[in-house]
Chain A
Amino acid sequence: MNLTEPVEQDLVVRNTTRPAWAVLGERALEILICLCGISAIIFVLGIFFFVFKEAFPVLANPKFSLRQFLFSDQWYPTSELHKRYGVLAMIAGTFSVTALAMAIAVPFGLGGAIYISEFCGAKTKETLKIVIELLAAIPSVVWGFIGLTVLSRLIVRWTGAPVGVNILNGGIILALMSVPIIVSIGEDALKAVPDSYREAALALGATRWQQVRHVLLPAARTGLLAAVLLGVGRAIGETMAVLMATGHAVHIPHSILDSVRTLTANIAAELGEASAHSTHYQVLFLIGILLFLMTFAVNLAADLIVRGVRRK
């Protein structure tokens, strides 16, 4: 204790000798950076508050049944005879498209990340990284357009499906959109594993596959999971591309060649016409809350998994 005291005093003395503008400037910068940090929380809370405020009145509406909302596939928001607001078909649509996209994107994405980080040469690595970044930069409407025109024709030719815009199409398009994210973040996670781990594994006589399987993947699991989660996030949240590629049909799918509609695409397609504060408008915000809860559940589950893995 005694040893540190003089040093502290010394610091204080030096601080007072600094010009006032430097002290003030530093303070201002500190506040600014602090605000940047807090702003994320403020925005999340703000968005949550706004979405809740717009959706809440419908829950209090006696004519609206939450049960029907969640468990009916009848979506007739503009009917003149009998308005019905059931989103079951769209929940099924969102889940099926996201699940297929992940089933394709996760192996490809993680495989790509492992290859780029561990196996390929420096030159290939640079080229691959640039191309993958380019892939990530393609706007989602362009993906949707590719799904609607190119991929749909290929699907009809290969599978004999009557329509080319369906879960398979949407899943492939979403997978192509998530792979670059999974690869770049996954590659960063693998790169962050210290080289001493690799050296130790090699020194113990591990093959490269054993090194990846037993050393690198467990060491980088948190980062890899984050990569997969961001990929899932992109897949669930994507709007324009799925709107065009899935066929936008309210229909509970029976096979991957059926057309579906996702929750996000439905909001995007209908919010513009719903007159403000009508039931239709409020129900669309309620779908927003549903999406919020779904992503929240995915993140929470992932967090718990990571914690579980760590405790082991």
Chain B
Amino acid sequence: MSHSKQNPFNAKLGMAAAALVSAWLLQSGCGGGKPAIQNKGSDTMVNLALAWAEEYSKVCPQVKVEVSGGGSGVGIAALVNGAIDIANASRDMKPEEIEQAKKNTGKEPKEFVVGYDALAIYVHKDNPLNEITLEQIAQIYAEGGAITKWSALGVKIPGSSSDEIVLVSRQSNSGTYEFLREHVLNRKDFRLGSRDMNGSKEVVELVASTPTAIGYSGMGYATPGVKMLKVKKTPADPAFEPNVANTLNKTYPIARSLQVYTLGEPVGAIKAYIDWILSDAGQKVVEATGYVPVPASARVKP
């Protein structure tokens, strides 16, 4: 009996449901064919990648993005073996890695720049030092470098009797480690005896608890316990603070691009995901996690 009587509320609900289903069926923005995207790599980018995945689950709930870290090297190694769909890397893929990927999977890795990061040099918040030159960073971190004491930089650490610089570095699978080695140390090796942390966050944490420490990590990891040094190319140049503007206009000397790699031209759900990352919504997440978004004019979509 109640069936024959048209309940206006039920009818509306039914129509709404039908509209939703058809919208979902027609929706091509999420791509098809792949319910889960495997995403792995850079520890610098892991917070960003997680934020993307979470935000994307609101846009396209039927696509699951599974994110893990481990370091750029780990992500690229997994991509080369064909184990994942998207590798995050805070360094460029090396020619031999590209060769290996072609040999293993028959596909050429494709690179997409998804953001920028300024590599910040961190010291304890009470450290009186404010500026540093690239040469000084190299002398501090490189094997055989001349600077091992804070007095060589002209500072005295308040409240500490020790003058020795406590080096905090990253493990060798880190893209940040390789970036610093290539762009600041001129491919020289790191000094042995540094505390090699297994994540950007750990570096900042150790520097925050150690008054005589110096460390490096993406600027997104800054906390109230640490200070980011202004960096200048040569003693004669002006020093620049690591921030969004200085990264985009390239005045901050140790900024780098953050990229994702896919095997071959991305299709289906993977293409849709990278498209979304490079949309305004995806780039807003980049800004929110402390990195520098790619300007609309510079975005290269798949």
Interface residues of chain A, those whose CB is within 8 Å of chain B, are: 73-82, 89, 148-149, 152-153, 156, 160, 162-165, 243-244, 247-251, 259, 261, 269-270, 272-273, 275
Complex Cα distance, B210 from A77, in Å, reads 28
Shortest beta-carbon distance from A72 to chain B in Å: 11
Q: Complex: how many Å from CA A309 to CA B210?
A: 49
What separation, in Å, do the CA atoms of A172 and B97 have in the docked complex?
A: 42
Contact A76 B189 (CB under 8 A): yes
8 contacts between A and B (CB under 8 A): A148-B206, A156-B210, A163-B206, A163-B210, A248-B171, A250-B192, A269-B173, A272-B77
Please pick, from B166, B181, B189, B210, the residue contacting A82 in the complex, using a CB distance under 8 A.
Answer: B189
B34 CB → nearest A CB, Å? 25
A275 to B77, CA, bound (A): 7
> When the two chains form the complex, which single residue of A244, A249, A261, A273 contacts B73, counting CB atoms closer than 8 Å?
A273
Binds A, one of B2-10, B126-134, B156-164, B249-257: B156-164
In the bound complex, CA of A273 to CA of B261 (Å): 17
CA distance A310 to B181 in the complex (A): 58
Q: Please list the 6 inter-chain residue pairs (A to B) with the smallest Cβ-Cβ separation, ordered nearest first.
A: A273-B173, A273-B73, A251-B193, A247-B195, A78-B172, A248-B196
Q: Footprint of A on B, CB under 8 Å?
A: 70-71, 73-74, 77, 80, 100, 160-162, 164, 166, 171-173, 178, 181, 187-189, 192-198, 202, 205-206, 209-213
CB distance from A173 to the nearest CB of B (A): 16
Contacts of B70 in A (CB 8 A): 272-273
Q: How far is the CA of A272 from the CA of B188 in the complex (A)?
A: 23
Question: Are A148 and B171 interface neighbours, CB within 8 A?
Answer: no
Distance between Cα atoms of A74 and B191 in the complex (Å):
10
Tell me whether A163 and B213 are in contact in the complex, defined as CB-CB below 8 angstroms, given that A249-B195, A272-B74, A272-B77 are known contacts: yes
- Contact call A153/B209, Cβ cutoff below 8 A: yes
Q: How far is the CA of A273 from the CA of B40 in the complex (A)?
A: 12
- Least CB distance from B81 to A in Å reads 8
Known contacts A148-B205, A163-B166; is A250 also within 8 Å of B171 by CB?
no
Residues of B within 8 A of A156 (CB): 209-210
* A73:B192 contact, CB within 8 angstroms: yes
Distance of A252 Cα from B37 Cα, bound (Å): 44
Tell whether A149 pairs with B205 under 8 Å between CB atoms, given A162-B162, A249-B194, A273-B71: yes
Besides A74-B192, A79-B189, A269-B171, 11 other A-B contacts (C-beta < 8 A): A73-B192, A81-B187, A82-B189, A152-B206, A152-B209, A162-B160, A162-B213, A165-B206, A247-B195, A272-B77, A275-B100
Instruction: Pick the contact of B198: A76, A78, A80, A248 (CB < 8 A).
Output: A248
A148–B161 Cα distance when bound, in Å, is 22
Of B188, B193, B213, which contacts A249 at CB under 8 A? Answer: B193
Report A152 CB to chain B, min CB distance, Å: 6
Docked complex Cα distance between A236 and B249 (Å):
51
- CB-CB under 8 A from A270, the residues of chain B are 171-173
If over half of A's interface residues share one DSSP class (helix, strand or loop), that class is named, otherwise mixed; here it is loop
Contact residues in A for B80 (Cβ distance below 8 Å): 275
B193 touches A250 (CB 8 A): yes
Q: Which residues of A contact B194 (CB under 8 A)?
A: 249
How many angstroms from the CA of A270 to the CA of B172 in the assembled complex?
A: 7
Instruction: Give the complex CA separation of A163 and B209 in angstroms.
Output: 8
A162 in contact with B173 (CB, 8 Å): no
CB distance from B171 to the nearest CB of A (A): 5
Quick one: which of A149, A163, A249, A272 contacts B196, CB cutoff 8 A? A249
A247 vs B167: C-alpha distance when bound (angstroms): 11
Cα separation A156 to B160 with both chains bound (whole Å) = 11
Take A77-B172, A156-B209, A164-B210 as given contacts and tell me if A272 and B71 are in contact as well, using a CB distance cutoff of 8 Å: yes
**Contact between chains at A243 and B181 (CB < 8 Å):** no
Contacts of B178 in A (CB 8 A): 78
Determine whether the beta carbon of A148 is less than 8 Å from that of B202. yes
Complex: A272 Cα to B43 Cα, angstroms: 13
Instruction: Find the B residue at minimum CB distance from A248.
Output: B196
Residue among A148, A249, A250 with most chain B CB within 10 A: A249
Contact call A248/B172, Cβ cutoff below 8 A: no
Partner of B181, one of A80, A250, A273: A80
Judge whether A162 and B74 touch: CB under 8 Å. no
A76, A79, A149, A272: the one contacting B173 at CB < 8 Å is: A272
Known contacts A77-B172, A80-B181, A149-B205; A273 and B74 CB within 8 A of each other:
yes
B161 contacts across to A, CB distance below 8 A:
160
CB-CB nearest in chain A for B211: A162
Kindly provide the distance from the CB of A166 to the nearest chain B CB, expressed in whole angstroms.
9
How many Å lie between the Cα of A163 and that of B164 in the bound state? 11
* Residue ID in chain B nearest A164 by CB atoms: B209
B188 pairs with A81, CB closer than 8 A:
yes
- A82 — nearest CB in chain B belongs to which residue? B189
* B225 nearest CB across to chain A (Å): 11
* Docked pose: A62 CA to B189 CA in angstroms: 24
- Chain B nearest CB: distance from A153 CB in Å? 6
Q: In whole angstroms, how far apart are the Cα atoms of A247 and B73 in the complex?
A: 21
Chain A min CB distance to B302 (Å): 27
